[in-house]
Structures are given as structure tokens and as C-alpha cells.
Amino acid sequence: MAGVSTSHEMGLHTEPLKGRDIKTMFKLENEGGYAYSFARDVDFNKRAEMDAEGKEAPEINREIRELMDQGNGTIVIRNPGAKHSIVVGILNRMNIIVEGSLGYFGCGLLDGPNVRISGRVGWSFGENMMAGVVIVEKNAGSTFGAAIRGGDLICRGSVGSRTGIDQKGGTIIVGGDTGAFTGFMMQRGRMIICGNAGKNLGDSMYDGTIYVGGEIRDLGVDAVPEELSDSDKAWLARKLSMYELLPENGVDHFTKIVAGKQLWSYDNLEPSEKKLVL
Amino acid sequence: MAGTGYKGVEIDDVDHFLKGGGIDSEREKVIGQHIGYRYDVNLLPDYERITPFLKGYLEFMGWDDLNWLEDVHMGYDDGKAAVFDRNINGWVAIPDEYELPSNQQDRDMIARELLIKFQMSPDHPLVVLNKAYRKY
């Protein structure tokens, strides 16, 4: 930008360097129950069905919320027609059954619900998921589980490339194969690939763990194999059994991939910190 | 965490971060404070140690295991035991009067329980944000 040499001259970064985070103390006298205070009160045994035929995504999402307002804890969606951006932003305990396929950005921003999709799903399915269980019975597109932070996201079939890109927590399970750059920039969480993994697995991962049951085409930058521990095996067997994906020959053959941590730069000072301490 | 290490610093004592503030790495020495997020984030939970409250929570949510809570551990911030709350992007400190168990797995279970109670409380900052920004 002409005439401006640093961001400080633009009036930015003028705050003093002090505390890193919001600091809060638990006050147990104010503790809550099992659900967010703003969550809808639903009953798993109260079931409703809706037909998505001929409806746009906003209308479908609005109807899901109206059914939740009526106390329905189990909602069946028929004829989803592979529409994009539906079943999103639900911060509630719920059971949702989708009879068919979803398009791009399905089941994004979920925090709590248990969802089952009987068909296939498109790109960026389960993006930014916070909690819950989502199961896809067939195949999924690329960037499956992008930036997921928590919960279990399962695809029984195969998925495209960049599965779990920028994963920050939670567990992604793929019953089949996964494409190139799976686990790209992974920061935390666990990923289980029962089949084969494409090229550059775990490229630039900072942390987290990837377990692969099949062949690995090749590893990405700073992704390194590590010995499978007994706790890894116990966790793998338990998790895969939960979703009926445990191989007949068990889990001993899985390869564990972790970050080599050569890309960690926590020990390099930020420019503002250098000014402060040097 | 006990039995683990990072950047060549082996952590053998469960109270390591409480006793010494966890100022181990070169950068921590320079800035004079512990970097709180550098724990073994990959430690898997021991389901033998799950608390009754957490069992009730999993049943309420309809889950067969700890789900997102598998990623929650007890960390240490400024020499105090604390839990990182992703919903406020900050550490929530455990009150001093709270007695900590002697092993990391039990501490992690307590951290999970406290975090749930805090997040579900009407006093949680997310409640205010939800009121202000919820669209539907």
C-alpha cells in the first residue's frame, strides 16, 4: 500500500502484549445440566417425517427446526434429492434419518445430533462438526469432514481427496479408500482409514493421529509412522466395532501416522514479542 | 502429561505443570510463561474411569462413547489446572479448593465433567452470543 510501510502506521497492533486468552473460573454453583440452555427440548421417541421433494434448502432447514420446536427427537427426511446445505447448524441432541443422498456442505456445523444418511454425499460433508455421530452409508466427495472439531463422522464407502483437511478434533472413519492429501494440515483428532490412502497422506499435519488399514501411496511432508500401542489397538477395535467396521483380521495390521513435529514453530518469537524481550 | 513429552522435554510427574509452571522450552523461558496448549492432545481416554455424570450425559445424548469429549483433557494455564473451552476460545480454571486426582486419566474425566456443566450453564458466554446472533 503506497505510503504505509507497517501495519502499526495504519493504527493496528497498538495493544500492549499481555494475557493470551479469556480467563474464567468455574463456578460450580451455576452449573448446568446435559443440554445447552438454549437447546430445544425434544423426545427421541417422538418421531416425525418430512418430504423434501420440491423444496429449497432454507425451507427444508426451517421445517426441521419447526419439527424440533414441536418436541420431535427423531426426524426422517424423504426425497432429499442431493440438495446442498441441508441438515446444518443443529445444536441439539437429535436423531435425523435421511433417506437418500445429500449434495455439497451437508450436515455442516452440527453440535450434538445423530444423523444417518442412506445414500451418498457431496463435497465438504460434515464441515466444522462439533459433536454428535454422523454416518454415511455410501461414498462421499472431497474434503469430507473439513475442519471438524469433534464427534464421530463415518463414511462406510470411499471418499475423495483432502479428507479431514484442517481437522481440529473428533474422529473421522472411512470404511473404504481415501484420496490424495488426506489429513492435510491436520491439527488434532483421529482418523481411521480402513482401506487404502492416496498420495501425500498427512501432509503438513501439526498433530493428531491417522490409522490406515490398507496401503499408503506415500506420506506427505512431516507425516511419520509410529508404532501402534496397546491403547491404540484397544481404541481402534472399540471404535470400529461401534460402527460395525471392525475387519475380520482385527486391527494389528493398521499403520499409525503422526506428525513429525518438524514444522512446529512455537519456539520462534513473533515480531511483537521480539520487540518486547530483546 | 505424565509419561509423555514434547520438544525433548520428558514429563514424568502429573503435577509437573503445577509445580514449576511448565516453563521448559526455550520460548517459554524467553516469554516467561507456560504455553498451555502443548500437551499430549492424543492421549486416549480410559473408559474404566468415566464418572456417573458423564455416563448420564452420554445416555442423554444417545452416544455410545465420549464422542467429542475424547479430545478434552485437563491442561494447565499460569500454574493452575484448567480446561480449554472451545466455545469461548479460552481456558477455564479449576477452583483452588478442588482436589485433583493423582493421575491424568482421572483428571481428564473431571475436566470433561466440569466443561459440560460450564457449557450448559445459563451463565456461559455462548448463551449471550446465541441471544445476540441467532438467526433462527
Measured CA to CA, the distance from residue B112 to residue B119 in angstroms comes to: 11
pLDDT for B31-55, tens place per residue?
776 665 556 777 889 999 999 999 9
Q: Do B71 and A208 touch (CB under 8 A)?
A: no
| Cα Rg of chain A (Å, integer) | 22
Measured CA to CA, the distance from residue B30 to residue B41 in angstroms comes to: 24
Measured CA to CA, the distance from residue A263 to residue B2 in angstroms comes to: 24
CA distance A159 to chain B (A): 22
B96 — pLDDT class (breaks 50, 70, 90) = confident
The H helix count followed by the E strand count for chain B is: 5, 5
Interchain contact B52–A (C-beta under 8 A): no
Residue ranges in B44-124 assigned as alpha helix (H)? 52-61, 104-119
User: For residue A192, what are the β-bridge partners?
Assistant: A173, A211
Residue A68 lies in a domain: no
Of A17-26, A162-171, B121-130, give the range with the top mean pLDDT.
A162-171
Task: Work out the percent of chain A whose per-residue pLDDT is above 70.
Answer: 86
Q: How far is CA B21 from CA A31, A132, B43, in A?
A: 28, 35, 21
B80 — pLDDT class (breaks 50, 70, 90) = confident
| pLDDT(A105) > 70 | yes
| pLDDT(A265) > 70 | no
Q: What is the DSSP letter of A197?
A: B
CA distance A222 to chain B (A): 15
A183 lies in which domain range? Answer: 139-277
Residue A34 lies in a domain: no
Domain count of the fold of chain A: 1
pLDDT of amino acid B77: 75
Q: Which residues of B touch A93 (CB under 8 A)?
A: 60-62
Could you tell me the three cell numbers for A102?
445429500
Task: Tell me which chain B residue has its CA closest to the CA of residue A187.
Answer: B41
Interchain contact B95–A (C-beta under 8 A): yes
pLDDT of amino acid A26: 73
Q: Give the mutation candidate from A17, A30, A34 for the B interface (greatest B CB count, under 10 A).
A: A34
- ipTM beyond 0.90? no
Interchain contact B55–A (C-beta under 8 A): no
A56 — pLDDT class (breaks 50, 70, 90) = very high
Which residue is it, cell 438467526?
B135
pLDDT of amino acid B1: 42
Q: Which residues of B touch A74 (CB under 8 A)?
A: none
| pLDDT(A204) > 90 | yes
User: For residue A135, what are the β-bridge partners?
Assistant: A116, A154
Residue A48 lies in a domain: no
pLDDT of amino acid A106: 97
Q: How far is CA A258 from CA A170, A222, B5, in A?
A: 15, 8, 15
pTM of the full predicted structure?
0.89
Residue A195 lies in a domain: yes
Measured CA to CA, the distance from residue A247 to residue A195 in angstroms comes to: 10
Residue A78 lies in a domain: no
Q: Give the mutation candidate from A18, A27, A30, A36 for the B interface (greatest B CB count, under 10 A).
A: A36
Residue A235 lies in a domain: yes
Beta carbons within 8 Å of A166's beta carbon, 6+ residues apart: A146, A147, A184, A185, A186, A187
Could you tell me which residue, B41 or A93, shows the higher pLDDT?
Answer: A93
| pLDDT(B115) > 70 | yes
User: Nearest CB to A65: which of B30, B121, B136?
Assistant: B136
Measured CA to CA, the distance from residue B84 to residue B77 in angstroms comes to: 9
pLDDT of amino acid A3: 45
Quick count: other Cβ atoms within 10 Å of Cβ B132?
Answer: 7
User: For residue A121, what are the β-bridge partners?
Assistant: A140
Q: Are A246 and A240 in contact (CB under 8 A)?
A: yes
CA distance A178 to chain B (A): 22
Average pLDDT, chain A: 90
Beta carbons within 8 Å of B79's beta carbon, 6+ residues apart: B17, B18, B21, B22, B34
For helices B104-119 and B52-61, the axis angle rounded to 10 degrees is: 50
Residue A220 lies in a domain: yes
Q: Which residues of A touch B68 (CB under 8 A)?
A: 130-132, 149-151, 169-170
CA distance B136 to chain A (A): 8
A263 — pLDDT class (breaks 50, 70, 90) = confident
Beta carbons within 8 Å of B70's beta carbon, 6+ residues apart: A171, A190, B44, B45
